[in-house]
């Protein structure tokens, strides 16, 4: 695991899921995050922000301010929206370097794989990869 220093928000979310022993509770937490996700400006709903390889429609956009990335995103499916919110909340205010160097192992640590369909699990990773790709554009 990376130095948790700047990844505090992400690892707080990972711990919360890791400590929920019932898969249903993990799911509920993800749904709750999805419901709290701020509705983005429609201008982000363009092909360059679209996450490929997701069954549902997912868009993510990085905004760069004072050396840090701030994310906004949209998904038309509640579970996917929750996964998106998980990543946005966990990765807001990281530098592009931190986002790019983030190891995707934390996804396994959440224990969500047992609760998610393979396509959702794959979508979760695809959202992360899209975020890393966008962060890389600021390097």
Q: Which residues are catalytic?
A: 54
Contact 74, 67 (CB under 8 A): no
Alpha-helical runs (H) found in 37-104? 78-91, 96-101
The label of the residue with tokens 């695809």 reads 126
Residue 65: DSSP 8-state:
E
Nearest to 139 by CA among 62, 74, 72: 62
Contact 17, 110 (CB under 8 A): yes
* C-alpha neighbours within 13 Å on the C-beta side of residue 37: 34
């Amino acid at each position: 695991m990376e130095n948790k220093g700047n990844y505090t928000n992400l690892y707080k979310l990972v711990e919360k899921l890791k400590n929920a022993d019932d898969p249903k509770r993990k799911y509920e937490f993800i749904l709750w995050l999805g419901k709290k996700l701020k509705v983005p400006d429609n201008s982000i709903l363009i092909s360059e922000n679209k996450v490929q390889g997701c069954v549902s429609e997912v868009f993510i956009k990085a905004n760069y301010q004072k050396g840090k990335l701030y994310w906004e995103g949209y998904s038309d499916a509640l579970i996917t929206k929750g996964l998106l919110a998980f990543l946005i909340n966990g990765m807001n205010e990281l530098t592009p370097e931190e986002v790019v160097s983030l190891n995707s192992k934390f996804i396994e640590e959440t224990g969500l794989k047992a609760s998610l369909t393979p396509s959702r699990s794959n979508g979760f990773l695809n959202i992360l990869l899209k975020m890393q790709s966008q962060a890389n554009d600021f390097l």
